[in-house]
Structure 1
Amino acid sequence: MEDRPLADVFEPATRERWRSAVEAALKGADFEKRLVSKTADGLRIEPLYAPASPVVQPVRAPGPWRLAQRIDHPDAEKAAAQALTDLEGGADALVLVHRDAPAARGYGLDPASVDALDAALKGVMLPLIALRLDAGAAGFETAALLKELVEQRGDDPSTLDLDLGLDPLGTRAATGRLEQDWETRLSETVTAFAGYRGRVALADARPYHEAGASEVQELAAVLATAVAYLRTLEAGGHDLERARDALAVLLVADADEFLTIAKFRAIRRLWARVEQACGLAPKPLRVLAETAWRMMTRRDPFVNILRTAMASASAGLGGADSVTALPYTQALGLPDAFARRVVRNSQIVLIEESNLAKVSDPAAGAGGFEALTAELTEKAWAAFQEIEREGGIAKSLESGAFAGRIAAVAETRARAVATRKEPLTGASEFPFLAEKPVAVLDVAARQAVRGEGALPSQRLAESYEALRDASDATLARTGKRPTVFLANLGPVAIHNARSTFAANAFAAGGIEAIGNDGFSDANALAEAFTASGAPLACLCSSDAVYQTEAVPAAEALKAAGAGTIYLAGKPAEAEALRQAGVHGFLFAGCDLLALLREAAERAQG
């Protein structure tokens, strides 16, 4: 019996052999269209990468990332209870959310005095945790209260791990208002907090990400903001070493693990370039993460658990020092204890059971991650330089130049969402009309106020959710949702693929499908449509059946009173179908959002 390694029995694996096998499997289909994807910045995502030589990569300090929980209940006593529950349950960092923060989502605290702040942190031992303030326009006042609280409690400032989160430029981006004399106040705050651990200023990516920014734009905005703060502090009399130590950045983590990991790796490389340009010896940048608001959905919110878990893992693997994950009901209201426990335990599993933080840079040497990190770094540096040529982030925001570039990317992404090129599980894909409501706390949300020039804050699913909300309102008012009759032609084996596709597509707009086993007779089809009482009809079958039966079926439906008829598919010859009464075509890649809006309007009569 021959004794040699199994791998020696086979021919060596080469890219050429792999490509040959792929071409055979594609059967003439376009390799680029099927297997190569592109990011919002036009970066290519290849289906296969060769191993890469690890690049020297700045990394997080050894050990796991911090698990941070938002404290955002408006009642100070209940907020304190939230904090203690989270800390006892495994969190080791808190984010104190002020109601004036753009990311408060209508909730948050309003500590108007040191006693109020003390009440919100009652029982919390500050030297044992990391604390970040998320206060928006109230940042300077809240930071002053925190300093007073530390002094009142007698804590040693050098033992505290604080992030004051002061980001006047980010607040300007989110609200349209730039605080006067912010440069002086920022410099004075750095002086006031000398001797404290942690960071004073924060370059926050959330306003840009929520407006639709790409990964490159998000990195460029954060870098430009951090550099603006460096310049401000240097002008205020602080040396660059102290100014550098006063800064942190916050990036947004979403469910695209490939891009998120690369983005978090890229920010550390970009900052190293800034340090080099400033003549500073490299030092670890504090990189904070929060999971993306724009990816959250109000429909089928349990999918958000998967989204935030993937985003948290990606941020941690990418080198984040601290990760704050939004509870899965965040888009529906103020999360209750269960939602907070789920999001907390998800990170505990990632850190303690999955051991994702054991390796400092697990993406090192992986061809795909190394290639994408390098490309993001180069493109983000170029985008940062463009902002600098415009006079810096503040002037670029004021002129609308940067906002315009973000809007262009957001518009492209909106088209991708509308056509389901970027699918949203539970919203645009696999919607469930019979879903049960989930619990949130009975606390009214405040209306956010955004001034002129503010960047928009949008979740990707909002347009589909608006259609579902209108459907729910119709159900509550009449006891019945808008309906569409699936005019299935032929046996189940023939029409099932398209009838299932159509039912799910219409459900994304809150339109309930009335199914059947199919018809071979146009008159029987028309009678069933009339009996259904549906205002809409959708022909569903194979292309072969459509060639002979779609026209007479459409004519029969029209004669039976169907005012709006759709056809599931994209026939090459559509004119005859239109003349027979087909109003529109439902197919993969169509503008589903536009079709659903029209269908909902027609269903209402």
Structure 2
Amino acid sequence: MSGSFPAPSRETWQAEARRALKGAEPSSLDRIDADGLRVSALYAADDGVLPVIAPRAGDADGRAWDLRTLVEGDDPTLVNAAVLTDLEGGAASVLLSGAVLADPEPLGEALAGVALELAPVALDAGLDGPDAANALAVVAKGSPRARLRLHMDPISAFAEAGTSPRPIADHLTLAANTAARHAGAYPEATFFLASGRVVHEAGGSAAQELGFAAAAAVAYVSAGITAGLSPERALAGTVLSVSVDAEYFDALAKVRALRLIWRSISRAFGAESPAAIEARSSRRMLSARDPWPNLLRLTAAGFAGAVGGADTVVLDGFTRAVGRPDAFARRQARNTQLVLMEEAHLGRVDDPAAGSWFLDARTRDLAQAGWSAFQTVQAEGGVLAALEAGTIQTRVDEARSALEAAYRDGAKQIVGVTKYVDPDVRPAPVEVSAATQPADRGSRTFAALRPIRLSEPFEMETSA
């Protein structure tokens, strides 16, 4: 048509790139990631990139995604005040952790005034997940349409602790039986959280995180079916979870890749079901000495979750590396998402990454690498057997060592920590919380996937 712009050829792009690089080839910017995948500097239509369509299944009560806040605490009155503040301030749901989950009475006090059929309530109770699930079910009695997110995830708790009070297979069976017991009473509930975040926080690669999440999902769905759930209900009752960080292109591609992997898993169970993905911000990316730049890191993570198509996004408080976030930090976490949703309008387009040659190629590469990592775990007997044998930990250790070396050698930088360091850091307040001793889970039976924080070694040097 008259006045249209000519489509530039690949050669034109390459010529422009060479000029910008002062004669260097664009391929000089190519890199190999932690999974051995090539990330090119230039992508074009003639690269043969297959399009990827991976939108979230639907809106969250008219919103693009479920804005979920994390509320922790042991005092039911304080937790209730924080929950109501978050919901009144724009959150759609809450994720609870702490001693309030131990019994129906404190949990009921913590959720006073919350309409459970309107505001989903998710739990983070580790190996005590079934007890917390039972407590929430008691609190929700009389609300059969309550949107409970029980989030039982004994596999991640087992992996991080390196042990469990009883054989982990028993914990998995208990979680599945708990799910089957509540499935009829709460048809809107989900039961399991199949998460790869424990691998990410321990320094693992994207493919390792995806493979772990997929293997956990298969373990939970299989256990649910054995406990009496139909394949359709077991699949619908399983929420997937990955970490999103400031490397937002890779993070959003990881969310999209997880949706592709889930398609193959659900088809294998004979009941294709849309994925429900909860993206949580990375903790390993956060700095402690100067927590203020974490606000930007968390904004980038929220961008990745939103554009990647996560159904739910949970952002941590920016002071997490210092201590338990206070009301100000929780407000910032909530408002960050509100700005991304209501001012930046990130959710107005379904799967906005679709059509980008780079992001479609990256999504497919990560999906294939994640599927390969999943197949490796399955060949080792499944996620529990692989953890007990230590093979998952060995691979994560290798990825973590390479990642730490990249920061140590200067190949990667952390703003505010290794580059552009503020010599006069403003303190950031945190919530006072009682120090608690970790529960005795018995002697360790294998190497744990312990969380790391990438800034910590450099911060220790600064303080020394």
| Counterpart in the other structure of 2:130 | 140
The answer to whether 1:165 aligns with 2:151 is yes
Letter paired with 1:85: T
Aligned counterpart for 2:56 among listed residues 55, 59, 78: 59
RMSD, matched Cα: 2.0
Count of residue pairs the alignment pairs up: 449
Aligned counterpart for 2:192 among listed residues 187, 190, 201: 201
Deviation at 1:403, TM superposition (A): 0.6
Aligned counterpart for 1:16 among listed residues 5, 8, 11: 11
Q: Normalized against structure 2, the TM-score is what?
A: 0.92
The 1:24–1:285 alpha-carbon spacing in structure 2 relative to 1, beyond 3 Å, is closer
| Counterpart in the other structure of 1:75 | 75
The 1:118–1:418 alpha-carbon spacing in structure 2 relative to 1, beyond 3 Å, is same
| Aligned positions of 1:340-489 closer than 5 A | 340-446=330-436, 448=438, 451=444, 452-470=446-464
| Counterpart in the other structure of 1:225 | 216
Deviation at 1:420, TM superposition (A): 2.4
Query: In structure 2, how many angstroms separate the alpha carbons of the residues matched to 1:76 and 1:23?
Result: 62
Query: In structure 2, how many angstroms separate the alpha carbons of the residues matched to 1:208 and 1:440?
Result: 27
The answer to whether 1:279 aligns with 2:237 is no
Does structure 1 conserve the Cα–Cα contact (< 8 Å) formed by 2:177 and 2:224?
no
Letter paired with 2:83: A
Is the partner of 1:127 in helix, strand or coil? Answer: coil
Deviation at 1:307, TM superposition (A): 0.7
Q: How big is each residue's C-alpha offset from its partner over 1:502-538, in whole Å with a ceiling of 9 and x where there is no partner? A: xxxxxxxxxxxxxxxxxxxxxxxxxxxxxxxxxxxxx
Deviation at 1:76, TM superposition (A): 1.8
| Counterpart in the other structure of 2:228 | 237
Deviation at 1:353, TM superposition (A): 1.3
Deviation at 1:173, TM superposition (A): 0.6
Does structure 1 conserve the Cα–Cα contact (< 8 Å) formed by 2:80 and 2:109?
yes
Aligned counterpart for 1:268 among listed residues 241, 256, 259: 259
Is the partner of 2:354 in helix, strand or coil? Answer: coil
Counting aligned pairs with the same residue, the percent is 36
| Counterpart in the other structure of 1:177 | 163
Deviation at 1:80, TM superposition (A): 1.0
Is the partner of 2:348 in helix, strand or coil? Answer: coil
Aligned counterpart for 2:21 among listed residues 17, 26, 48: 26
Q: Normalized against structure 1, the TM-score is what?
A: 0.71
Query: In structure 2, how many angstroms separate the alpha carbons of the residues matched to 1:92 and 1:231?
Result: 31
| Counterpart in the other structure of 2:43 | 49
Runs of 4+ in 1 over 6 A off after TM superposition: none
Higher RCO (CA-CA < 8 Å; seq separation 6+)? 2
Letter paired with 1:77: T
| Counterpart in the other structure of 1:298 | 288
Q: How big is each residue's C-alpha offset from its partner over 1:299-326, in whole Å with a ceiling of 9 and x where there is no partner? A: 2211111111111111111111111100
Q: How big is each residue's C-alpha offset from its partner over 1:253-285, in whole Å with a ceiling of 9 and x where there is no partner? A: 1111111111111111111111222222x2211
Letter paired with 1:175: A
Does structure 2 conserve the Cα–Cα contact (< 8 Å) formed by 1:176 and 1:454?
yes
Q: How big is each residue's C-alpha offset from its partner over 1:118-150, in whole Å with a ceiling of 9 and x where there is no partner? A: 122222222220111000011111111111111
Letter paired with 2:349: V
Letter paired with 2:94: L
Is the partner of 2:149 in helix, strand or coil? Answer: strand
Query: In structure 2, how many angstroms separate the alpha carbons of the residues matched to 1:340 and 1:259?
Result: 26
Query: In structure 2, how many angstroms separate the alpha carbons of the residues matched to 1:76 and 1:419?
Result: 47
Does structure 2 conserve the Cα–Cα contact (< 8 Å) formed by 1:261 and 1:317?
yes
Deviation at 1:355, TM superposition (A): 1.1
- Gaps spanning 5+ residues in structure 2: where? none
- Gaps spanning 5+ residues in structure 1: where? 98-107, 471-605
